[in-house]
Amino acid sequence: MTNILIIYTGGTIGMVKDLETGTLKPFDFSKISENIPELRLLHCHLSDLSFDKPIDSSNVEPSFWVKLVEIIANNYEKYDGFVILHGSDTMSYTASALSFMLQNLNKPVILTGSQLPIGDLRTDAKENLITAIQLATLQEDNRPVIQEVCLYFEYKLFRGNRTTKFSAEHFHAFDSPNFPALAESGVNLRVEKQLLLKNKSTNFSIATNLCADVLIFKLFPGFPLKVLESIVNWGLKAIVLETFGSGNAPSSAEFISILEVAKSKNIAIINVTQCSAGAVVMGKYETSQHLQELGVIDGKDITTEAAITKAMFLLGKKSDDINWFKENFEKNLAGEMSN
């Protein structure tokens, strides 16, 4: 039997309605098999660990990610897989951060949540939880089939750092616009093994030094240049610039001048597309050629969530060498971008 640790951090999935007061209260995961008897059909032993004070995912900060990876590291040898229950609002940020912080991972770490509380009549929580656990138990030749950070929601398993939340209303709340699903749950559980990351190293370690001196700036027609100019003078280490289409931006002298100032201050400018799907291709149009000439970092098809967490991770390793940062950001480190 495989041993799976369920880590409840907070969020809608862990709430049940008090029948007397009608208010939501935390679910007791120590009695999970009693409340969800279907779990007994899985060939695994479940343990649970809940945060002393569950948090709303809107309050997630880098220190929360550090706490999570330390929990996983402290329990890494005891368990064959980990299922993290998390609020959906920032789940893609957490999944992305963990994919970089958990180095040489060779066990499944699967995040899931729900749009409705686990005690609700029409809840999506039970299916998400049951299937996330089942995926974490999958073994082949006494090794976990999944050896990466994933996100499971509404019948699909995605690579965590490829996801984005696109709906606040539908059960199908997450998508992976630039990479196919790793598994799909239907009548059968179909796993696309050829898409999974293959880690040959057994030297598991964690990276807990993150630098949050980063910012996302989304371009729009008529955006105030003075705001971007002020941001450049804040003392940041990196700016994720959400540009138009395939990485295009204004070619005005004023805009270029601001980017030149950022370059002189060793601020990394990362070019990601604000489109929901597709990739940055700098130099394809004249309106992106000047970015390429200025040494702006090519975000390729990375999501904004993965871009910001990857920047924090790399700056935590070395924050004073922009050439090293650019070289490593443009590398595919954890399956977050296409080669």
Share of the chain above pLDDT 70, in %: 98
CATH code for the domain defined by 214-329:
3.40.50.40
* pLDDT for residue 98: 98
Catalytic residue among 12, 164, 273, 304: 12
pTM score, two decimals? 0.95
Give tens-digit pLDDT for 252-262. Answer: 999 999 999 99
Strand 238-243, strand 189-191: pairing: unpaired
- Structure confidence at residue 31 as a pLDDT band (50, 70, 90): low
**Domain residue limits, the chain:** 2-206, 214-329
Tell whether the torsion through CA atoms of 58, 62, 63 and 67 is positive or negative: positive
Distance CA 254, CA 271 (A): 18
Give tens-digit pLDDT for 272-329. Answer: 999 999 999 998 888 889 999 999 999 999 999 999 999 999 999 987 899 999 999 9
- Structure confidence at residue 121 as a pLDDT band (50, 70, 90): confident
The encoded tokens of residue 220 equal 């729009």
- CA dihedral of residues 119, 134, 302, 334 (deg, nearest 10): 140
Burial of 66 (0-12, 13-18, 19+ CB in 10 A): middle
304 given a catalytic annotation: no
Q: Look-up: residue for tokens 């039970």?
A: 126
Fold of 2-206: Rossmann fold (3.40.50)
